[in-house]
Amino acid sequence: MRKRINEINACFALGTSRAGRAYDGREADLLFDTFLDNGGCVIDTAHVYADWMPIERSISERCIGDYLQRSGRRDEIFLITKGGHPELSGKGYNGDDLHAPRLSRREMRRDLEGSLAKLRTDHIDLYFYHRDDPSIEAGELIETMETFVREGKILAYGCSNWKTDRILKAQEYAREHGYTGFAANQALYNIGTLARDVQWDDTCVTVNHEMLRMHEEHPEILLMPYSSVANGFFHRLLTEGKEELRKAPYYSLENIQTAEKLRELCTRKQCTLAQAMLGWFTVQNVRCLPLYATHQPERVKEALKTADLHFEQEDFSFAKLKY
């Protein structure tokens, strides 16, 4: 494909944190073929997916690599993966220290080489730092990525869960040295984060006003929100009722009201809830390519049809950013 991420016209990137667990083999073939055959092209994974399960290291990348080998469709895919996440060792998030940095050049090279082997490809289209390490100068981290670019192992790079000031320092260094710098930024953002209570992982970064201003001022950095449909919270709220979700991080009076407004919007626009929540990203003041994960081919088809719908900012007047 050999395209830049900003040249791709897509309504979402397919998230694959459950690849190899919820689907594998023929089921993976069906899911990925459905995605590609219906106009999708961006697939997002990470070297750490899903090391929190004591099954197999980097199982998501292995599953995707198997598909690429069987299908021969690598050239149709804009492939994203990430490295440098703190070790999980298959013990689950509650049993691991998520704060041990792994962003040295040696560790990043090990992750990248591992990703290339698992994915069975000679290059990654867009490679991310999965976390940040503020003890390392931003310029040094840019130089690591530039080394990988010169080697032809990655075509572009981005950051995931970095704070705004660190992204700006990295971009300043890149500009001063004639580099393109970060092509994309992944952070937590969806219609439910406006009134979200707790963060299940305090190494994650949530989009706020400061970050949105940065993206407005630096349009070369694509915003790639993850958890785009709030981990199914609104779907469950509207089908199961609020009593079952009182301990959920998205549970709040504001989000209960948002759910009802989303229900009304779906009726008015004759769209599904997933389409409405993905449509919310199309009316942002910055360009977004949200990550959307599902293991059901029909859900993939449904989500891709978001591109055929036309939403206005007024459709989401009930969801104002409140940071």
How far, in Å, CA of 124 to CA of 250, rounded?
Answer: 34
| Average pLDDT over every residue of 114-126 | 98
Rounded to 5 degrees, φ, ψ at 138 are -55, -35
Label residue 88 by pLDDT band (50, 70, 90). confident
Is residue 83 predicted with pLDDT exceeding 50?
yes
Joined tokens for residue 26:
């023929």
Confidence (pLDDT) at 320: 67
Report in angstroms the alpha-carbon separations of 11 from 37, 84, 236, 309.
15, 27, 23, 11
Write the CB contacts of 39 (distance below 8 Å, at least 6 apart in sequence). 10, 304, 307
Is residue 323 predicted with pLDDT exceeding 60?
no
Angle between helix 105-119 and helix 59-71 axes, rounded to 10 deg:
40
How far, in Å, CA of 249 to CA of 195, rounded?
Answer: 9
Q: What is the pLDDT of residues 206-247, one digit of tens each?
A: 999 999 999 999 999 999 999 999 999 999 999 988 888 888
Better-scored residue on pLDDT, 243 or 201: 243
Confidence (pLDDT) at 50: 80
**What is the end-to-end Cα distance of the chain in Å, rounded?**
39
For each of the domains in the chain, give its residue range(s) and CATH number, in order of start: 5-231+272-316 (3.20.20.100)
Q: Which of 181, 186, 255 lies closest to 220 in space, CA to CA?
A: 181
How far, in Å, CA of 127 to CA of 7, rounded?
Answer: 16
| Average pLDDT over every residue of 167-178 | 98
Q: Percent of the chain beyond pLDDT 70? A: 94
